[in-house]
Amino acid sequence: MSRILIVEDDPQLLRALSINLRARHYAVTAVTEGVAALKAAAASPPDLVILDLGLPDIDGVEVVAGLRGWTTVPIIILSARDAQRDKVNALDLGADDYLTKPFGMDELLARVRAALRRAQPDPQAPVVTTETFTVDLAAKRASRHGTPVRLTPTEWHLLEILVRHPGQLVTGSRLLTEVWGPGREKDTNYLRVYLAQLRSKLEHDPSHPVHLITEPGLGYRFEP
């Protein structure tokens, strides 16, 4: 039974989330404040966190940062903030997904299932090694010359897709759809920014990458 921590100060939404998740056999802990969420997570580490950004005591992004200091548990943001900068900021800080209120319960439940699936370790996943960096797909860790590299969930997701297809072209539209969801196929600036960040963290010479290659107008390719 997966353990889910809900952090939401709207009592009606908190009740609806708790009822729906428990009906699907999840173990639910529900709190209404950010500090209480951090304490609850430390006392009994959850398998997934559903987090509202607009909390009465501290901002939800502080909760994300606090959790990311010690755990990689999937975090799904719920928020009335629909500005792109708010979404990007939350994802960069370590959130895995973002739903804008109001949302459909079926969509949330589907995202919960997907996040829990992605979080499950794959014991058959390989360790991919280049002359500069190593990617452990099972442990979801990367290192450069033996030194651990901290990647955001978005950076990791992009890297994982590329590394799982060595030598193959992965189109930009596929990357955008898999990482950011349907309807984002034209947001190619996201890819340029995040691939630049990955290269700066992993490549020996980010301005002349030899492993994370751009195929102009087509997509990207990982060369071991």
Domains of the chain: 3-119 (3.40.50.2300), 127-222 (1.10.10.10)
Residue 177 pLDDT: 80
Residue 79 pLDDT: 86
DSSP structural state of residue 47 = S
Residue 124 pLDDT: 61
Specify the pTM: 0.63
Distances in Å between the Cα of 41 and the Cα atoms of 5, 68, 137, 182, 186 are: 7, 11, 25, 31, 37
Tokens of 51: 């987090």
Residue 46 pLDDT: 94
DSSP structural state of residue 73 = -
Amino acid at 112: V
Residue 85 pLDDT: 75
| pLDDT tens, N- to C-terminus, the chain (224 residues) | 899 999 999 999 999 999 999 999 999 999 999 999 999 999 999 999 999 998 999 989 899 988 887 888 899 999 887 667 777 778 888 888 888 888 999 999 999 998 888 777 666 668 899 999 999 887 788 999 999 999 988 888 899 989 988 888 999 888 888 887 766 677 788 889 999 999 999 999 999 999 999 998 889 999 98
Residue 52 pLDDT: 94
Residue 141 pLDDT: 87
Beta strands (DSSP E) in the chain are 3-7, 27-31, 48-52, 75-79, 97-100, 127-129, 133-136, 141-144, 147-149, 169-171, 212-215, 219-222
The Cα–Cα gap between 80 and 78 comes to 7
Distances in Å between the Cα of 47 and the Cα atoms of 68, 91, 197, 223 are: 13, 18, 28, 33
Distances in Å between the Cα of 128 and the Cα atoms of 132, 156, 160, 175 are: 11, 14, 10, 20
Residue 104 pLDDT: 92
